[in-house]
Structure 1
Amino acid sequence: MKNIAVIGAGTMGNGIAHTFAQFDYKVHLIDVSDAALKKGLATITKNLDRMVAKEKITEVEKTATLMNITSFTEISEGVKNVDLVIEAATENAVLKSKIFKELDEVCDAETILATNTSSISITQIAAVTKRPEKVIGMHFMNPVPIMKLVEIIRGYNTTDEVMQFTVELSKKIGKTPVEVNDYPGFVANRILMPMINESIETLYNSVAGVAEIDTVMKLGMAHPMGPLQLADFIGLDVCLSILNVMYDGFKNPKYAPCPLLVNMVMAGKLGVKSGEGFYDYTDSRKAEKVAQMFNS
């Protein structure tokens, strides 16, 4: 297998495309928005430039990586002659189901369909296709080129062959795959999101301020980034979506999103991507500082 398609040119999609291309896979990066594709490719170039500056790769390797990526605005064109499609669209079950239904119709019968969902049931997504045995979860961590972990999630019908293939493929691109079962939030977000939510509750209840909460977790628990700053980096809308998936899936009030998080998302305070969340990123230098901290 050397031909991969990635659906979505956002943060996760361009990171996945970057990683596969760097390991000499031919990548078709697909997004309905030409502007999103240009922005995604610009991000990949910028990240590669950073790697060159740190002497992690050479200029030749950077050029080769970019040459391995071709962009498309039509799914039917972008998935031709690929062995694996990785969907990395917005964390929305309705949208993902729509994409997978289309992928099932236009992809070759042997093509494996993977989703980068961080919380939604693989079995639910697979159910809209006629190939549920070939649907699997590949939950990459952000930033994809740097973070080693990939959660590999087996749906109810996913075959052993597809599972093993996905595990081995993850190793070939320098990742450490961890097999988990198909429950809302899987492992990473089932543990992380309640911690972030509780941090927001702590702020909401005026126990401490934003900087104080993050400082306690950084200095006391050796976290590289405080939970509120991490929530800003992930996107508060994404955090809310994941918590809602877990709340709906488990019907357990401990996963209910904090009212402060709900209100901030409704107000458009989404974190780094909107310029303001728990911290102010209207100064581009502040946003760049956060990115450098997370990428270091």
Structure 2
Amino acid sequence: MTDDTRAFALDRGETIYVAGHRGLVGSAIWRALQTRGFGNLVGRSSDELDLTDRAAVFGFISDVRPSVVILAAAKVGGIKANNDFPADFLSENVRIQTNVLDAAAAIRTPRLLFLGSSCIYPKFAPQPITESALLTGHLESTNDAYAIAKIAGIIGVQAVRRQYGLPWISAMPTNLYGPGDNFSPTGSHVLPALIRRYDQAIADGASSVTNWGTGTPRREFLHVDDMADACIHLLERYDGPDQVNVGTGKDITIAELAGVVADAVGFDGDTSWDTSQPDGTPQKLLDVSLLRSTGWEPKVTLREGIRSTVDWYRANRAAIRT
């Protein structure tokens, strides 16, 4: 256990606002809270509440007065989307975060969890990446705008802790996947993109699949249900200024990942690599010692998680983001 570990037993009847409750992470957190018996959950779709509208956010938070806020709302996308629209990713995410954090601080919300991304760390940070690596080097240029927005959120949480003494915390997940993911050809992250690509190859009767990059970068993956479990665990167990890395502590090359996905979907053709496309950061493996010191471990293995995600994708293909 760390000095930052203390009990914050959450009352099953208190009001919990999950910002981004329909997204990949937010929906998983919502399911996990419901499973644990939390009965007063509050969520608003983007049609119901525009989180970039400061006045609307302040009015909503003031009316609802949640005792817990989980800030999982964000504009997200894969390497191409981040590289092509950096101004959009920076502006929208900074506005979402600042509005929610400021509105929650205005009513002194007792407990808040801000969710970031492992892309906040320098491109060439020593591996595995510790929380102390933050702001020690240059960011990966393909998603630096998104990373800067998330760094601003971390600093925002730390500032509230210093100014108001509120036990707000931040969690930085590794690459997430699972039910509710984005399978769009232009907006998805690597794992759902691979699932869609290999599944489509089977549907088309294709004998080969071409993936982006060289296949050599190493990435860590965490099932979103494990992420949700970790979030609730941290809300009840952690109180410190440092962001907490959330991951498995194990990584895999993109080429190896492609092999696991191909096996999960039943594709037995050839795989080639388009080396004209960017690889991104060479390796991104999180040091999860701090999280483990609080007593948490992941439960879903990568192969199990990918198989279940393939099943979910095929069952929901007509209704999901493609």
State whether TM-score is above 0.5: no
Which structure would you say has the larger RCO, counting Cα contacts within 8 Å and 6 or more residues apart? 2
TM-score, length-normalised on structure 2?
Answer: 0.38
Give me the TM-score of the superposition, normalised by structure 1: 0.41
Relative to total residues, which structure has the larger helix share, 1 or 2? Answer: 1
